[in-house]
Chain A
Amino acid sequence: MKHVTITSAIALSASQKKSLVEAIEKKHGKVTVTEEINPAVLGGIKVNIDTEQIDASVAHKLIQLQSKLS
């Protein structure tokens, strides 16, 4: 079973968490979930599925923007 860590600036609502976990489980099967609150992500979420990371946070987008501009 894979372990999923969801990082966000504020806590996800129950429906948000449910839809997200359902989408992940559809692809990876049953998972265990840990939620982390980190204001450094600024907004949005960052999902770690074992070693795989999907970063959809505002902080990551800003970093991408910065690297494109510089």
Chain B
Amino acid sequence: MEIQLSQILFQIINFGVVAGALTFLMYKPILKTLQNRAKKIEEGQKAAEEVIKEKEAIEVLKQKASTDAKKEAAAVMAEAKTQVDEKKKEMMAKAKDEVKAFVEEERNKWENEKAKLMKQMESEFTSAVFQVVDKVLGAGVIDAKTHSKLIDQSIKEVTKTL
């Protein structure tokens, strides 16, 4: 077998051309594609991490909002309860005052009525007593002996008073 230099040279050139063509046409696009893919993956990971962070932040905010809302609701409830209690107390006090005033008014009415009746009865009684006394004394029913007894009693009273 004879080695032909020209053949070898041709093969070398041929290999170089193929290698150059492959480098230019295949290696660089594939490398670029791989770099793009790696970049996209990295971006995707970053985006995912950001989403996770955002989600966590949202969760924290959500919990904070929930806690704040609960606190606010509790405060509102406490305030409402206080107001209701105050209103209740106020109404109770008012009702008590009204009842007391009503009772007092009725009692006064009753007392007045009673006093009026008593006065009327006393007046009638006094009038009756005076009428009787007037008739007894005016008609000369009391004789001199009775008058004398009355004077004796009066003298005793005057003597005691002295």
A-B contact pairs, 22 of them (CB 8 A): A8-B151, A10-B148, A10-B151, A16-B151, A16-B155, A20-B155, A23-B158, A23-B162, A27-B162, A42-B133, A42-B137, A43-B147, A45-B154, A45-B158, A54-B157, A54-B161, A56-B154, A56-B155, A62-B130, A69-B125, A70-B119, A70-B123
Residue total for A at the interface (Cβ-Cβ under 8 A): 26
Q: Which of A28-70 contact B (CB under 8 A)?
A: 42-45, 47, 54, 56-58, 62, 65-66, 69-70
Q: What total of A-B pairs shows CB separation below 8 Å?
A: 74
Query: A23 to B147, alpha carbons, bound, how many Å?
Result: 20
User: Does B144 touch A at the CB level, under 8 Å?
Assistant: yes
Option from A23, A58, A62 in Cβ contact (under 8 Å) with B155: A23
Would you call A19 and B126 a contact (CB within 8 A)? no
Would you call B133 and A62 a contact (CB within 8 A)? yes
- Return chain B residues, CB-CB under 8 Å to A70: 119, 122-123, 126
Would you call A69 and B154 a contact (CB within 8 A)? no
User: Does B82 touch A at the CB level, under 8 Å?
Assistant: no
Query: A43 to B141, alpha carbons, bound, how many Å?
Result: 12
Query: A12 to B144, alpha carbons, bound, how many Å?
Result: 10
